[in-house]
Structure 1
Amino acid sequence: MTILVNGIAVPAQDDVSPQLAAVHELLRQRALALGWLEPDAGAAQIEQAIERVLSAEVQVPAVDDMACRRYHAQHLARYQSGELVFARHILFQVTAGTPVAAVRAMAEAMLGELRAQPELFAERARSHSNCPSGALGGELGQLQRGSTVPEFEQALFESSAAGILPALVRTRFGFHIVTVERRVPGQQLPYEQVCERVADDLRGEAEARALRQYVQVLAGQAELQGVELDAAVSPLVQ
């Protein structure tokens, strides 16, 4: 189905979700309306204008020490030292020109198979994974926070689940089927040792929330066809 944003067709792209493409077009049109972009501008100029729009119109609330302490208390598991996860994965790589939908369908099919027959994981990793770890049955060894890309780290550490994770993990490299073999709890860190990290995390969530709200306002004022935008969509999240 063709996506239209205020009557403007949005080209489909294999490596970009329809929601993200629609949000990008909304922001481009906002930059045009503010007079910060010419209609015939190139890609680099469009990105600069969108950054200007976000900087000028998205208000991110400041965080204070009390809010940071409260956030720390609510997310104690995130602020530990020495926490380890032993995991394996199967990577379905996505590169420029890759038919993303087809790759995802293959990954979903294999995830279903492995959820039913987890004993096949190492064999499938050796035969299908696009990561060098495939030769080792997908073995990644022991992982700690900060040792992987953020999307992969979140899937590993923001849950206490063991075994094959129920959903694919999407990263900049592609789609991953992940199994957690063992978890080693870490030592709880006091707020004073992690206060700067807590503040960064809280600011990041506040920014994401402000972006979602801003996009909702733009979407509410626009005529959209072929796509739905809700609170889960922001210009920085695919």
Structure 2
Amino acid sequence: MSIHVNGKEITSRAINIESAYHQESGADPRYAQRRAAVALTVRELLRQRAEQLDMAVPEDDDDLDPVIDELIATEVHIPTADDTTCRRWYEQNPERFRTPDMAEVRHILLAGHPEDLEERNQARATAEQLIEELRRDPDAFADLARKHSRCPSANEGGHLGQVSNGETVPEFEDAVLRLPVGLADQPIKTRYGFHVVEVLQHVAGEQLPFEAVHERIREYLEAVSRQRAISQYIKLLAGDAEIRGIDLDQAESMLIQ
């Protein structure tokens, strides 16, 4: 497989070498090949446009990036995001700008390896027994955690502090953030085993003020505008070029390396 851009050949060997930079774990190697082919085609289009403008294009392709940056700065208008645009985005996407919901939790981990069915069953049974004990004697939680829990928090009587998304494993977070305050009726199953859980309190997330996130919104919107503007510019260059061996209109993405 080779590609020609206005008569300039991009060889199969070059595509194979480039594909090493586009590998993704577990992905079909052909996907990396397609991304590499698109990247090299786009790069060649930009190189040829820089030559048309009599820019100082280096012979070594590894030194081409500064020229591409200059070309884009010269020929691509990238809109800025003013305060009105940023505020509109903020008001249309309020869920993006909240502090996370949290739950203050203590737990007792009964460890059980996912592939050891007997150990998992024993962990579940022990967790259910402990829940029954705690229904009779809620004040025994800390002592039972120190005795049975296989989590480092056992030294703190099972107290984990405030838990929010991204701080533990998802299956644990999803459960504790939905549970009501108090001792959970059933053990929570995770990849580590079964957890006896008591939710001490919920702390609801709060909406961040616009002023606190204004700069983050501006950077995001301008990054999106930049990518869109560059993509349109590449499409214009491709439309004026003779390209054989690849259809950029069918490509999944247009890359600038």
- TM-score where L is the length of structure 2: 0.50
CA contact (8 A) 2:100 2:165 kept: no
Q: Provide Cα deviations, 1:124-175, integer angstroms capped at 9, x if missing partner.
A: xxxxxxxxxxxxxxxxx9537xxxxxxxxxxxxxxxxxxxxxxxxxxxxxxx
Q: Which region of structure 1 is more displaced relative to structure 2, 6-15 or 74-83?
A: 74-83
CA shift, 1:228, in A, is: 2.1
RMSD, aligned α-carbons: 2.9
Partner of 1:9: 9
Q: State the identity %.
A: 33
Indicate which of 18, 39, 56 corresponds to 1:20: 39
Specify which structure has the higher proportion of helix.
2
| Distance of aligned partners of 1:219 and 1:186 in 2 relative to their CA distance in 1, 3 Å threshold | farther
| Distance of aligned partners of 1:62 and 1:209 in 2 relative to their CA distance in 1, 3 Å threshold | same
Partner of 1:130: none
- Residues in 2 aligned to 1:81 and 1:236: alpha-carbon distance in whole angstroms: 35
Structure 2 gap segments, 5+ residues each: 23-34, 103-113, 116-163, 178-203
CA shift, 1:74, in A, is: 2.3
CA shift, 1:193, in A, is: 1.6
Say whether residues 1:229 and 2:252 are aligned partners: no
Partner of 2:166: 143
SS across alignment from 2:59: coil
SS across alignment from 2:69: helix
Say whether residues 1:71 and 2:89 are aligned partners: yes
CA shift, 1:226, in A, is: 1.9
SS across alignment from 1:81: coil
CA shift, 1:234, in A, is: 3.7
- Residues in 2 aligned to 1:198 and 1:21: alpha-carbon distance in whole angstroms: 32
CA shift, 1:229, in A, is: 1.8
Q: Which region of structure 1 is more displaced relative to structure 2, 183-192 or 20-29?
A: 183-192
- Residues in 2 aligned to 1:142 and 1:54: alpha-carbon distance in whole angstroms: 39
CA shift, 1:77, in A, is: 2.5
Report 1:11-90 matches (<5 A): 11-12=14-15, 13-14=18-19, 15-16=21-22, 17=35, 18-38=37-57, 41-82=59-100
Structure 2 counterpart of 1:197, which letter? R
Partner of 1:220: 239
- Residues in 2 aligned to 1:186 and 1:4: alpha-carbon distance in whole angstroms: 55
CA shift, 1:76, in A, is: 2.2
Partner of 1:100: none
Say whether residues 1:204 and 2:227 are aligned partners: no
Structure 1 moving runs of 4+ over 4 Å: 182-186
Q: Provide Cα deviations, 1:17-64, integer angstroms capped at 9, x if missing partner.
A: 2211211111111111111134x6113432221111011111011221
- TM-score where L is the length of structure 1: 0.54
- Residues in 2 aligned to 1:6 and 1:50: alpha-carbon distance in whole angstroms: 18
CA contact (8 A) 1:80 1:188 kept: yes
CA contact (8 A) 1:211 1:235 kept: no
Q: Larger Rg: 1 or 2?
A: 2
Partner of 2:132: none
- Residues in 2 aligned to 1:25 and 1:83: alpha-carbon distance in whole angstroms: 49
Q: Which region of structure 1 is more displaced relative to structure 2, 192-201 or 4-13?
A: 4-13
SS across alignment from 1:4: strand
CA shift, 1:180, in A, is: 5.2
Number of equivalent positions? 148
Partner of 1:168: none
- Residues in 2 aligned to 1:83 and 1:58: alpha-carbon distance in whole angstroms: 42
| Distance of aligned partners of 1:180 and 1:58 in 2 relative to their CA distance in 1, 3 Å threshold | farther
Q: Which region of structure 1 is more displaced relative to structure 2, 40-49 or 28-37?
A: 40-49
| Distance of aligned partners of 1:196 and 1:30 in 2 relative to their CA distance in 1, 3 Å threshold | same
| Distance of aligned partners of 1:142 and 1:75 in 2 relative to their CA distance in 1, 3 Å threshold | closer
- Residues in 1 aligned to 2:217 and 2:93: alpha-carbon distance in whole angstroms: 9
